[in-house]
A and B are shown apart, each in its own frame.
Chain A
Amino acid sequence: MDNHALNKRVTLFCGHYGSGKTNIAVNWALHLKRLGHEVAIADIDVVNPYFRTKDSQAELVAAGVEVVALPFANTSVDLPSLPAEVYGLVQRRDKKVVMDIGGDDRGAYALGRYRPYILEENDFANLFVANFYRPLTTTAEDAFEIMREIEAAAGIPFTGIVNNSNIGVETRLCDIVGTFPMAEKLSELSGLPIVMTTAEATLCKKEPQYDFFELELQKKLF
């Protein structure tokens, strides 16, 4: 992990729909908390009514992470709006903030209203989350196209790439390693560093020689 690039007050996770942004965001917030920071996580996903930061609210709150989410997130009320408290998080500058942003350019438009504060403070990491096993981003070129669309919608430049390549429960080490060339290619196309490569916790423990960011909290279905 590129700790220098990641050591910013505000961390934004953007990316293609279903690339794993929420999962990384909640795990990253916990990670920062364990490092001793005061941390808040904000759910500003206006695209998807399912699979929200709020799924992990109990664990986050128990760990001392402030969770800013709409009261009706995860209540089946499909209303794309944003919590007012997010303004406080970008304006007060008193704690580390992790922001979970909706998928694709459509999700990134929501960032626009916080853009002036984030750019003015200029202490942010805007990270593009890529999973090369997602059907519309199986190549570096396709991922780059979506990256550009998101950047244009958000009005905030990306500062790094998170390689979150996985095929769910079937992910093996070779599946992750196999995407390294694509991540490198995306890095080359965009001129941005790969700041983090992720893996699920059990796989991380088995392969300590890799510097993976460990994902503990996972949303499980049947």
Chain B
Amino acid sequence: MAEKVLMKGNEAIAEAAIRAGCRHYFGYPITPQTEVAAYMAKRMPKIGGTFLQAESEISAINMVYGVAGTGKRVMTSSSSPGISLKQEGISYIAGADLPALIVNVQRGGPGLGGIQPSQSDYFQSTKGGGHGDYRMIVLTPESVQEMADMTALAFELAEKYRMPAMLLADGTMGQMMEPVELPEESNDTVEKPWAVTGTEGKREHNIINSLYLKPEELEQKNIERYERYKLIEETEARYESFMMDDAEYCVVAFGIAARVAKNAVVAARKEGVKVGMIRPITVWPFPKAPIAEAADKVRAFISVELSMGQMIEDIRLASECKKPVYLCNRVGGMIPSPEEVYAKIMEVKGGSK
């Protein structure tokens, strides 16, 4: 195989998952993520894997739940409305402490919405989505290369912490073609004594379950889980800091919005405006530390999003409302242009003098 290949983001996810040892994919087609399923349909039969187009998203996520119980790497993918349908299953997976990868190539909503890119599933991904006290590690790629790299990373983190991980992309990331260096072959390295793999009469049987009828026991499970979440918040928050050293204004953006905003930051720097950017790479755990640090130095934050400002709450919490947070956004499938972000930076700069 050539060193670099030209891939769509959706294809990069699928190939990267296969290279990470994933041999079980369950899904249901929906634009703009269908290429993930199409690629799996072509490749899985050739490598002894399972591609199954389920009768619905709900079936697909429950099949993921089943395979996850055996400790094998397993994934599903969908786009916003389909991810809504999967929420019950995601909650069960979290409640049974199982690792699994869920890919959301977001499109405009709410409801059936549209097929153009969006980031309006931020609340759904980072604040629950399904029922109960649970969290999910959420990674946000900004290039086709990161789509590939973060797929492998998501499997690793999911296994390390025994919980579902999500790759939160958008229609642009899924559809755009870029050169990509595919990751090396890898597989899980974590011991899984909990997996349901057959006792061979040598051990007690394992049970995969999220039902606890004794409230004391369920309370204890939740407390244990939150101790794990606390550790993840302390150690796994990922971000990229761009031109922040002397910044007086801080743009916060992830995924496609960060890609657009970076152009605006560079353009504003050329005009002598001291602006930088913090790009959350994980949106849960949210990179609170760099935001808190920036809050003591900058005059204002500008959240650039493809939503009505869903990330603003996290920026305010992390910065303890020390500085104002402005919003630069487009929604419903629209993407802000670098010019729009640039204009917002200039407007905020003018207003906060």
What are the residues of chain A within 8 A of B114 when measuring CB–CB?
A: 76
Residue of A78, A167, A170, A178 with highest tally of chain B CB at under 10 A: A167
In the complex, which residues of chain B have a beta carbon less than 8 angstroms from the beta carbon of A155?
none
B346 touches A (CB below 8 Å):
no
- CB pair B2 A49 closer than 8 Å: no
Which of chain A's residues has its CB closest to B32's CB? A50
Known contacts A76-B116, A78-B31; A222/B2 CB under 8 A = no
Q: How many residues of A contact B (CB 8 A)?
A: 22
Instruction: From B6, B11, B39, B172, give the contact of A167 (CB < 8 A).
Output: B6
**Interface residue count for B (Cβ, 8 Å)?**
32
Residues of B within 8 A of A168 (CB): 6, 177-179
Contact digits for A35-51, partner B, Cβ 8 Å, 1 yes 0 no: 00000000000000111
Which applies to chain A's interface (DSSP): helix, strand, loop or mixed?
A: loop
A84 within 8 A of B: no
User: Does A136 lie within 8 Å of B42, measured CB to CB?
Assistant: yes
List residues of chain A with CB within 8 A of the CB of B116. 76
Contact between chains at B177 and A133 (CB < 8 Å): no
Knowing A76-B333, A135-B11 touch, does A170 contact B115 (C-beta < 8 A)? no
- Contact string against A for B residues 227-245, beta-carbon threshold 8 Å, 1 for contact and 0 otherwise: 0000000000000000000
Name the one of A78, A138, A169, A221 contacting B1, with C-beta atoms under 8 angstroms: A138
User: Could you say which of B125-133, B183-191, B256-264 contacts chain A?
Assistant: B256-264
Of all chain A residues, the one with the shortest Cβ separation from B182 is: A135
Interface of chain A residues 17 through 76 with chain B (CB within 8 A): 17-18, 49-51, 76
Q: Interface 1/0s, chain B 28-65, versus A by CB < 8 A?
A: 00011001001100110000000000000000000000
Chain A interface residues toward B at CB < 8 A: 17-18, 49-51, 76, 78, 131-136, 138, 166-170, 178, 221-222
- A-contacting residues of B (Cβ < 8 Å)? 1-2, 4-8, 11, 15, 31-32, 35, 38-39, 42-43, 114-116, 172, 175-179, 182, 256, 259-260, 263, 333, 338
User: Can you report 10 A-B residue pairs in the complex whose CB atoms are below 8 A from each other?
Assistant: A18-B11, A18-B177, A49-B31, A50-B175, A134-B6, A135-B1, A135-B5, A135-B11, A138-B5, A222-B172
Which 9 pairs show the lowest CB-CB distances between chains A and B? A167-B179, A133-B6, A170-B179, A135-B5, A167-B6, A138-B1, A76-B115, A133-B5, A221-B176
